[in-house]
A and B are shown apart, each in its own frame.
Chain A
Amino acid sequence: MIKEAIDCIDAGTEYCPCKLAEHGQCLICSQCQGKVFCDCLNWKGVCIYQELYNNASRAKDGRKTYNCIVTEVVNYENSLIIIKFKALHKLVLDLVKPGSYIFIRTDENTYFDIPISIMNSDIENDIITIAVEIRGIKTNKLLTIKTDGNIVIRGPYWNGVFGIKNILDQKDNKALVLARGIGLAPMMPVIRKLILQNNKVQVAIDKSPFEMNLASGLLNEYNVSIVENSLFDNGTLSDHAKVIIKDSLKEGVNYIHIAGADILTYSVINYLNDINRNDISLSCCNNFKMCCGEGICGACTSRFSGHRVKRFCKEQADPRIIFEGRRFI
């Protein structure tokens, strides 16, 4: 039996209780949902109600905004830029875990905030690396970034990956990572964690829409086996991908991380379902639109059967849960 308890990525951190708890909408604590008795279904090590009470019934201060100095910018034909910038040591430490992301902008206007996953967080030199695919007005604006210039960042945020529990559970195991496009960036902290936990990692990379493997430099630092192939064909999982999955399952892989669009994750879940391997544990990118990151604006919400609204900037979930019972409202 698998039971999905509601999990909040921020519960028990220095940002908990948040505005949701202050306004009776905490994801976890019954006492902070307007109820009057404890019904603590997913204890995260602290009593959120007590933390709220001890903080004069107000939310903790949210994430702060920092001005950071850019140390390096690499522009790949105006379709992709990789930015490295210097940050406070504490922030760099906070952004090491898989799923970490920040909001960045170069404009004073906060509407230009872009949620961007951390590609690498170098704790020794306090340098953070991010990769941004240039698409619309907000990302276009980033093309003006120069070395030694300033960028404004807000963070740390952590819910960039679903199935974090499954990543943490992999120890001395064999793992497969399927990555496509800009998904290669948030894949890196996941691989770092998997290697630290002594897993044997195989990475299948689909570069498109880019010409080059944007993670090759970082990947070289790790002992991982890499294959480059198309994973996706005309909206469906490619035969290459199916073969890669099948072969690795034969070799004893029982965990897959999918770093790409939702349609890729969904296709992998369906394929595993088709070959009767629902026992494979999964993690994937959180591709919901993030705007405030604090559970307030509603940009990241999605509706599920039973009139449930999930706020995916905070709610952690297993990848299979994300697509199950989703309502198109």
Chain B
Amino acid sequence: MKVVIIGGGWSGCAAAVSSKKAGADVIIIEKTDLLLGLGNVGGIMRNNGRYTASEELIALGSGDLIEITDRVAVHTNIDFPGHKHATLYNVNMIEGEVYKYLKSLNINIMMESRVNDINFDGQKIKGAYLSDGTYIEGDVFIETTGTTGPMGNCLRYGNGCSMCVLRCPSFGPRISISERCGVSDIQGERGDDILGAFSGSCKLAKESLSNEIKDELDSKGVVILKVPKEDINYDKLDTKVCQQYALKEFAENIILLDTGHAKLMTTYYPLHKLRKIKGLEYAKYIDPYAGSKGNSIRYLSVAPRTNDLKVTGVDNLFCAGEKSGLFVGHTEAICTGTLAGHNSVRLAMGMPLLILPSSIAIGDLITYANEKARTREGRKDRYTFAGSVYFKRMQELNLYTTDIAEIKAKIKKFNLDNIFSQKLC
């Protein structure tokens, strides 16, 4: 039984781990030279409701990747505006650790291999074509290609290619596998009828910051600097993916988080303006390289799917991560990836697919985001355990807790404990 995962970001890696644990032969096809995609420039875990989701994953038997992000954390339990008890993983270490772990599970990883079409017979995907002409067959396919880029999209809906970590100009463009099957993608929207949204943060080289800022980042993990009055731009918050960080504080202040680099919590910021701020006189972008001008554009190709993460209209295709909804964040990607990977094996074995109940945070997020994506208003929101509309909902529905024992008991009550570590074939 062969599961082919297209895209090696956080959700692809999570799908690989869960489908492998369920007993499949797994292959990941990744177009760049790094796994984790945007996870290489992210780093924020366990803030607000993500804490609950992380612990739910562990209780469900799929905490493998969460354990790695915990292990390579540079800061734990830190607070910054609107966010509590965050863990920041070291973006410079994480990819190597995840790669090593996936290899140890005997997952076949094809790096620098780009899918550029599929062989679809109208119902099932038979195989995937790589740009070098290789043909890869599989029983079940999982699309975790994300919704970011490529250049044409970043240009039409943003400010052009800003040279982000996905490096499309070097490794080539993403294509939408579901769209190739004739299933129309859903697009996220922002304000005035524009599609897509900007990625919500940049990375500055820590070495380019003043010693005071560096020291504060090293010791506290967070630095907050005032934006000069004339440069405050509230409008920019509307264009942002990460609505959990689209707070007033994030427009009035420069918020830096220490994830190995200094994570700048804004979509993009002209360097000459940034350098007006004390301590940032020598600041330099390392992701996206052209952070002065723009950032990557996301949410242009979300696949319609059911709550078991199967793509509607294709018999053997699952989706996860941003491809499966207007989600933000690594935790969300790992959660959806894990479910998609597990269900891919169930599908191949002819077993009923697993839908997580709405009484746990992960199940509720997957169901809620799906409902919301059907309405125009819903497509303007983003869904994350970490803030904005969904974290509010978590609190209202009592889904948010940091009590690990309570989470464990709840998962056990539903007979879901360690379900993702069961071998199915």
By a beta-carbon cutoff of 8 Å, the part of chain A in contact with chain B is 1, 3, 5, 29-31, 36-43, 46-47, 49-50, 53
On whether the beta carbons of B116 and A5 are closer than 8 Å, the reply is yes
Q: Which residues of A contact B172 (CB under 8 A)?
A: 40, 43
Selected from B131, B135, B161, the residue in CB contact (under 8 A) with A47 is B161
On whether the beta carbons of B301 and A37 are closer than 8 Å, the reply is yes
Given contacts A38-B150, A39-B179, A43-B172, contact A1 B155 (CB under 8 A): no
Q: Which residues of B contact A42 (CB under 8 A)?
A: 116
6 examples of A-B residue contacts, CB within 8 angstroms: A36-B156, A40-B172, A47-B150, A47-B151, A47-B161, A50-B160
On whether the beta carbons of A49 and B151 are closer than 8 Å, the reply is yes
On whether the beta carbons of B152 and A49 are closer than 8 Å, the reply is yes
Q: Which residues of B contact A5 (CB under 8 A)?
A: 116-117
A-contacting residues, B101-135, CB 8 Å: 114, 116-117, 119, 127, 129, 131, 135
Question: Shortest CB–CB separation between residue A208 and chain B, in angstroms?
Answer: 38
- Cβ of B238 under 8 Å from chain A: no
A254 to B161, CA, bound (A): 43
A47 to B173, CA, bound (A): 9
Given contacts A1-B119, A5-B117, A47-B169, contact A37 B153 (CB under 8 A): yes
Q: Which residues of B contact A38 (CB under 8 A)?
A: 149-153, 173-175
Question: Shortest CB–CB separation between residue A115 and chain B, in angstroms?
Answer: 30
Question: Shortest CB–CB separation between residue B325 and chain A, in angstroms?
Answer: 18
A38 to B149, CA, bound (A): 8
A5 to B149, CA, bound (A): 21
On whether the beta carbons of B175 and A41 are closer than 8 Å, the reply is yes
Question: Shortest CB–CB separation between residue B138 and chain A, in angstroms?
Answer: 13
Question: Shortest CB–CB separation between residue A68 and chain B, in angstroms?
Answer: 37
A37 to B176, CA, bound (A): 10
Interface centre among A37, A41, A42, A49 (most CB of B within 10 A): A37
On whether the beta carbons of A29 and B152 are closer than 8 Å, the reply is yes
A37 to B195, CA, bound (A): 11
Q: Which residues of B contact A47 (CB under 8 A)?
A: 150-152, 155, 161, 168-169, 173
Q: Which residues of A contact B153 (CB under 8 A)?
A: 37-38
Q: Which residues of A contact B176 (CB under 8 A)?
A: 37, 39
- Cβ of B185 under 8 Å from chain A: yes
Q: Which residues of A contact B175 (CB under 8 A)?
A: 38-41
CB-based nearest A residue for B119: A1
On whether the beta carbons of A41 and B160 are closer than 8 Å, the reply is no
On whether the beta carbons of A41 and B155 are closer than 8 Å, the reply is no
On whether the beta carbons of B156 and A43 are closer than 8 Å, the reply is no
- Cβ of B300 under 8 Å from chain A: yes
On whether the beta carbons of B152 and A50 are closer than 8 Å, the reply is yes
On whether the beta carbons of B151 and A41 are closer than 8 Å, the reply is no
On whether the beta carbons of B152 and A40 are closer than 8 Å, the reply is yes
Question: Shortest CB–CB separation between residue A37 and chain B, in angstroms?
Answer: 6
A1 to B127, CA, bound (A): 9
Question: Shortest CB–CB separation between residue B55 and chain A, in angstroms?
Answer: 38
Interface centre among A1, A3, A30, A40 (most CB of B within 10 A): A40
Question: Shortest CB–CB separation between residue B195 and chain A, in angstroms?
Answer: 8
Q: Which residues of B contact A50 (CB under 8 A)?
A: 151-152, 155, 160-161
